[in-house]
Structure 1
Amino acid sequence: MRNFRITASFAWFGLMLAGAAADAAAAAEPVSVVLAKPDATGGVEVRANSFRATLERKLRLVKQLLSLSPAVLRIPQSNNAQAKRKLAEAQARYAKAETEFNASRGEAAMLLLDESLRQIAAASSLVPDPVQQLAQKRSRNTQLREAIRTFQMQQKGLSSRMSPKKLQASTVVADVDRIDGMVDKADALILGGNQDEANVVLNSAYQSVVATLNKILAAETIVYGLKFDLPAEEFRHELARNRSYEELIPIAIAQLNTVRETAVVAEHYAQQSRDLRVIAQKQASGQDYIAAVKTIEGATSHLQRSLRIAGVVVPHSSEVPP
């Protein structure tokens, strides 16, 4: 006895053709086929008939997809040569599947139909629905604008808390003006109906915002040149610096598309920083500012590590000359 187990999983193609949804759902169910000598119960014949019925449904579904699916009908009207080639391959495999079915070679027909469905899916993905494509572009536009706005707010907050000696304010202002100009250009492109180019400009603006933020963070690591009259002043400065870094972490994780596993590691370092900050604050409350400064600097180093893991370029303090 030879056993053949055939599983057809393509119910999702019903989304491409509403009229084929029922057939797709039925054809998606696993079907076991056993070819053997007939027995007294007639079970083998029942299973063979079930397989044939599934194969017929699959033939109808593929035929409907090739002739009626809007996703497929868009392909010949497009300029995508690769999609047209894949569609031609799908049609050829369907035609051959019909031949195999009529010759009672069901297994071969099933394999050809599966390949035809794969080619239909691949071809359709190359020529997306214009309405859905526009919606995706608008969604991307919104995401970029929100990311730019969030990073700009963070950049302004960091700049306002930094010493002018540590960062050339004119450079940051020029960066901000350039980014604002890029956003204005994107707005003009959208008004002119050029969503694609607008998103390209917004993506460049987003990269510029991140670069400016990294520039501020790099300047923030130059701490050796600062002089404080009192240890308490130095501690307050380091405490504010620590909190500035911590504010960046959830923003970086959210806006830089940090994968979940990496985000967990970044948060682990952030929690270590919070634990050390509590210790530093207790040391400061006891007037031991020298120890408090050392502890809070250690806490900040954990936040720098967390940001690097999330994808923000933050130089080590030791890497930046005084």
Structure 2
Amino acid sequence: MKVTAIRYWLPLLALFAASPALGDGEDVAPPSREEVQQELYLVKMLITNSPLAARSGDDKVKQTLELARTLYTRGNDAFIAGNMVWADAFLDEALSVLEDAARLASDPLQTETRQRERYAEVLDDVRAFQATYQDLRGGLSAKDVKLHDAKIERTRDMIYRAQVMVRDGLYQEATELLERVHEVYISVLNELLASTALVYDTKFKTPMEEFEYELARYRSYEELIPIALDQFKPDEFTLKLSERYVQDGRTAHGAAEKQAAGGDHPAAISTLQDATKRLQTALRTIGLEVPQ
């Protein structure tokens, strides 16, 4: 998209977005059905066919277009219901949002700044994953190390290519490449987690020995919680939901410890297995593919 193409739309957006607002101290006649219909057509055209639509790969523009679509839908619903005042209000706000987005997108410096910031964020995530993998790698068998190292090795060339793109000023393309690297690390992390699935072909000599095994298994999942939170960065709702499962798991773990201390290891094993299931649910909520 050419910057000049966006600037072409600014006067048209400003003309409609600057129309008098209702309730500003003057008696304003409600808009006619024909006027609102024209405004509906304009907003829809700007959302779907304007140069802004061509910039939908930009996260900021994408968010703005989504907000404009929501406002357009509400305006259209009000229009269908015959409420021209509300329809006009929603459409005016949609035009104002689109105007702000067009001004922002027309500034190459601001666009590059946003792209630089996004690149830095994804690069930090990739580096964090590299550190996490190295931590987990120490507990793998030689066979598993070879398997997962081969997958990680492929990302090194991708990271190098992203760095070359950055030197050429291609921040958005470099970010997209790093996001693919990020996906590889998530896949490997999920595989590492799946490899910790419990297999009951081990014969325990005593209930106490089995309890110790379950305790180690519980702790391995507990250690993954902060790693998953750091890497997946869940939204507030998901975070609260996962925290509830984690707290339930810790409560059950405490109960299991008391049962074991009292000598009731069979009950403690069952309670501890339930605690582990709670942590597994928390990890699935965050985004990890946890085995049942």
1:299 — aligned with what?
Answer: 275
1:191 lines up with 2:167 in the alignment? yes
RCO comparison, higher one (Cα < 8 Å, 6+): 2
CA pair 296-252 structure 1, distance change in 2 beyond 3 A: same
Distance 1:189 1:220, change over 3 A: same
The question of 1:32 aligning with 2:8 is answered no
Describe the shift of the 1:282–1:120 C-alpha distance in structure 2 as closer, same or farther (beyond 3 A): closer
Q: 149, 152, 156: which one pairs with 2:130?
A: 152
Equivalent residues of 2:105, 2:111 under 8 A apart: no
Distance in 1, matches of 2:93 and 2:218, equals: 57
Whose radius of gyration is greater, 1 or 2?
A: 1
Q: Give the CA deviation at 1:306.
A: 1.0
Unaligned runs of 5+ in 2: 1-9, 11-17, 30-48, 54-84
CA gap of 1:28–1:204, structure 2 versus 1, over 3 A, is same
Cα separation, partners in 2 of 1:299 and 1:152, compared to 1, 3 Å:
farther
**Matched-pair identity in %:** 34
Structure 1 position 82 matched with structure 2 position 60:
no
The counterpart of 1:129, out of the listed 82, 99, 107, is 107
* Secondary structure at 1:223 match in 2: coil
Residue 26 of structure 2: SS of its match in structure 1? strand
Following superposition, the deviation at residue 313 of structure 1 comes to 1.6
1:201 corresponding residue in structure 2: 177
The structural deviation recorded for 1:238 is: 2.9
For residues 293 and 230 of structure 1, do their structure 2 counterparts lie closer, same or farther at Cα, with a shift above 3 Å needed? same
1:310 is matched with which residue: 282, 286, 291? Answer: 286
* Compared CA separation, residues 280 and 260, structure 1 to 2 (3 A): same
Residue 125 of structure 1, CA deviation:
5.9
Range with greater deviation from structure 2 (128-137 or 183-192): 183-192
Question: 1 CA distance for matches of 2:240 and 2:93?
Answer: 41
d(CA) in 2 for partners of 1:147 and 1:282?
40
TM-score (norm 1): 0.57
TM-score (norm 2): 0.62
Instruction: Count residues with an aligned counterpart.
Output: 225
The answer to whether residue 162 in structure 2 is matched with residue 169 in structure 1 is no
Structure 1, 261-270 or 221-230: larger mean CA deviation: 221-230
Q: Which residue of the partner structure matches residue 58 of structure 1?
A: none
* Secondary structure of the structure 2 residue equivalent to 1:224: coil
Q: How does 1:1-322 map to 2 (within 5 A)?
A: 30-34=23-27, 82-83=50-51, 114=92, 118=96, 121=99, 124=102, 127-161=105-139, 164=141, 168-228=144-204, 231-316=207-292
Distance 1:115 1:240, change over 3 A: closer
Q: Distance in 2 between matches of 1:172 and 1:224?
A: 25
Partner amino acid, structure 2, of 1:214:
N
Partner of 1:31, secondary structure, is coil
Instruction: Verify the 8 A CA contact 2:243 2:282 in the aligned structure 1.
Output: yes
Q: What is the alpha-carbon distance in structure 1 between the residues aligned to residue 285 and residue 202 of structure 2?
A: 28
Distance 1:312 1:155 in 2: 15
Kept in 2: contact 1:83–1:122 (CA 8 A)? no
Say if 1:283 and 1:291, in contact at 8 Å, map to a contact too. yes
For 1:267 and 1:238, locate their aligned partners in 2 and report how far apart those are by CA, in whole Å: 22
> Could you tell me whether the CA contact under 8 Å between 1:266 and 1:307 is conserved in 2?
yes
